[in-house]
Structure 1
Amino acid sequence: MKGYADAHCDTAVKLFGRGEGLRRNGLHLDLERLSAFPGSLQVFALWLDPKYYPIALRQTMKYLTFYKSELERNKDLIRPVYTYEDLLKNQKEGRLSALLSLEGGEALEGETAVLEVFYELGVRMMTLTWNYRNQIADGVLDGETGGGLTPFGKRVIRKMEELGMAVDVSHLSDAGFYDVANMAKRPFLASHSNARAVCPHPRNLTDDQLRILKEIDGFVGLNFYPRFVAEKETVTQEDLLRQLYHLVEKAGEDHVGFGSDFDGIDTTPSDLRQVEDMAGFLARLEREFGRETAAKLRQENLTAALGRILK
């Protein structure tokens, strides 16, 4: 079976303290099931519950230590990605790849020096905010204030680009998105966001934002969370495809892929509940888009985007 690339899951954080590991668990995703898709890339995000914001750096380090220990324990199945060459090597060998992301910049605690430390520890992507305002910018649920990047936030963007870290604008307010677009010198991405024209949730992107991601050679990952997919009680693969068609129309077939949000969401599409269900969805993509475009959406686009960003 073919591999695929997923720009966002919260599995590592959800496993923390549960007594289960990445190799085998009862969550949406584990390595044994992901191994059915050789050469796949999974981005693991470290998300902080707002209750941890007062100890953001400390709690993030706990999650990071757990994540690194799980990768070491399962190095027969998965290898970390620090460079684009690492990713290509793993894909060639049919190995699973893991790329580490921070979901929200709270852990920086207002210091770009901390960002450099996280880079040395293997972090290669960061979602600038979660849903609420932090020292970098406003999140989508603070969007009514009209706030974008702070002066510190602009320094963070410059430092991330200097280091070769992927700037992730999912969860960011509209004003923040445009601030990033106006100052970015390298491509950026929205790891797990859908089209607002199809489902009018503030977490989704406008057609103009999708146009910008196309123009800057960025990337947007389809989020599987039903509330972001369609305004209906039960969501299916059919609804995911409706989102995908719109994303491809507006952002281009070279800039769209997956950002499942597995293990960060409490509900899923009724026919795509966990990682093993990706087999049927990937087959559906080939029927809908054709083999060449489906290959781009499945894995090639996120791989190429990381090639333009990572150093």
Structure 2
Amino acid sequence: MCLAEAKIWPVDTMMIWKIEYRSTKKFWSAYVPCGAAQLNAVQLSLEQIDVIRRLAEMNAQHLTLVTTVKDLIETHREGKIASLIGVEGGHSLGNSLGVLRTFYGLGARYLTLTHACDTSWAVCSLGETNNTEGTAPGLSEFGKAVVRELNRLGMLVDLSHVSTRTMRAALQTTRAPVIFSHSAARALCNSTRNVPDDVLRNLAKNGGVAMIPFYTYFITCNNTATIKDVIAHINHIRKVAGIDHVGIGAGFDGINFTPVGLEDVSRYPQLLATLLEDPMWSEEDIKKLAGLNLLRVFAKVEQVRDEWQRAAVLPVEKISPPENSACVYGVS
């Protein structure tokens, strides 16, 4: 669906095993379950990326695989859906920056640092409730190297799913804006999957964007919610971080409860029309929410990449020891 008034594609993000909606464009997330961590997560992620690329090729009349802001805008002008690849979960890297660079070379343009499981270098949101966070830093030295390498490559750092300590550590480490691809305001729903106000304020300083999910448990912390509850989160993040730092994350597939009034993508016009009933919201504000904020972040990430290329910043070579060295060749 195209929002002609905003001249922005509302997003429809699909994982091969899980479909998620993101604002402004299609992100196809190469997601693999946490059970694959330290097993065949890298292989499965590569296979997901392969399927995404073939899917775009098979539907070339509608989809174009893009890797840059320029290509995204041109694809939209052609009336096609600009499709980008993301990797949702740092466990997909297998503790290898070489794998991260390979993902980038295959077209991946964001990495969610964790999914619903810790890695050896970053703590997930569940770590705040199951005591795995403890006294561990939000990011290990290798975790900080992952963030810096994402900056060097020009790949979006996604902080949805990570613990608060990891959010703060990543914001201190990154030199480019970050995203929360599908996280709401913790002040309105006290879930560790949501973003605290102090982090939202730092996100504004960073220049990033928090994109609101439509999963009721992240909106009202129970299985019922309405479109007005979602708007409350949008307005809260706007109030705390500013209009330039809020977007729509949705996440339609992969969730089993949706707010009343936001059952599927056909309801996007109702969401935006309801916001426009509030004098605080202008058409320019709606354009930012619907996608321009994310495009700005993506463009800034590319700018940092270009600056680092001109400065001849070299790839990071840091290594993270495997968790099970008995199963790894060349490690004793």
Structure 2 CA distance for aligned equivalents of residues 238 and 293 of structure 1: 18
What pairs up with 1:78-97 in 2 under 5 angstroms?
A: 78-97=63-82
- Matching residue's letter, 1:308: K
Residue 47 of structure 1 deviates from its aligned partner by 1.8
- CA RMSD of the aligned region, Å? 2.1
Query: 1:215 aligned to 192, 205, 224, which one?
Result: 205
1:179-211 per-residue CA deviation (whole Å, 9 max, x = no partner) reads 111111111111111000011111000001100
Letter in 2 for 1:43: F
Are residues 162 and 6 of structure 1, via their aligned partners in 2, closer, same or farther at CA, if it must alter by over 3 Å? Answer: farther
Alignment of 1:1-311 (within 5 A): 1-2=3-4, 3-4=7-8, 9-14=13-18, 40-53=24-37, 54-143=39-128, 144=131, 145-146=133-134, 147=136, 148-288=138-278, 289-310=281-302
Structure 2 letter corresponding to 1:259: G
Identity over aligned pairs, percent: 31
Whether the 8 Å CA contact 2:9–2:81 is kept in 1: the answer is no
SS of the residue 1:47 aligns to: coil
Change over 3 Å in CA distance of 1:77–1:10 after alignment to 2:
closer
Deviation of the 1:286 alpha carbon: 2.5
* 8 Å contact kept, 2:16–2:31: no
Range moving further from structure 2, 101-110 or 261-270: 261-270
Alignment gaps of 5+ in structure 2: 306-332
Q: Once the 2 structures are TM-superposed, how far is the Cα of residue 229 of structure 1 from its aligned partner? A: 0.5
Deviation at 1:43, TM superposition (A): 1.6
Task: Give, in angstroms, the shift of residue 6 of structure 1.
Answer: 5.5
Q: 1:305 to 1:161 in 2, by over 3 A?
A: same
Q: Is this contact kept in 2: 1:142–1:173, CA < 8 A?
A: yes
Q: Secondary structure at the match of 1:58?
A: helix
| Alignment TM-score, normalising by the size of structure 2 | 0.82
SS of residue paired to 1:259: strand
In the alignment, the residues of structure 1 paired with residue 247 and residue 198 of structure 2 have an alpha-carbon distance, to the nearest angstrom, of 18
Q: Report the secondary structure of 2:187's partner residue.
A: coil
Aligned 8 A contact 1:190 1:220 in 2: yes
Distance 1:94 1:249 in 2: 34
Q: Distance in 2 between matches of 1:130 and 1:192?
A: 12
Q: 1:247: how far off?
A: 0.7
Name which of structure 1's ranges 253-262 and 267-276 shifts more when overlaid on structure 2.
267-276
Contact 1:5–1:303 (CA<8 Å) still a contact in 2? no
The equivalent of 1:21 in structure 2 is none
- TM-score, normalising length from structure 1? 0.88
Distance in 2 between residues matched to 1:14 and 1:172, nearest whole Å = 19
Distance 1:137 1:268 in 2: 30
Task: State the shift of 1:107 in Å.
Answer: 1.6
Tell me if the contact between 1:133 and 1:139 (Cα under 8 Å) persists in the aligned partners.
yes
Contact 2:125/2:192 (8 A) holds in 1: yes
Question: After TM superposition, which residue ranges in structure 1, 4 or more long, deviate above 3 angstroms?
Answer: 3-11
Where in structure 1 are there 5+ consecutive unaligned residues? 16-27
Cα shift at 1:284: 2.1
Match of 2:317 in 1: none
Whether the aligned pair in 1 keeps the contact of 2:182 and 2:212 (CA below 8 Å) is: yes
Preserved contact between residue 191 and residue 259 of structure 1 (Cα < 8 Å): yes
Highest CA radius of gyration, 1 or 2? 2
Query: What displacement does 1:275 show?
Result: 1.6
Distance change (3 Å), C-alpha of 1:292 and 1:103: same
Letter matched to residue 162 of structure 2: L
- Which residue of 2 is the match for residue 19 of structure 1? none
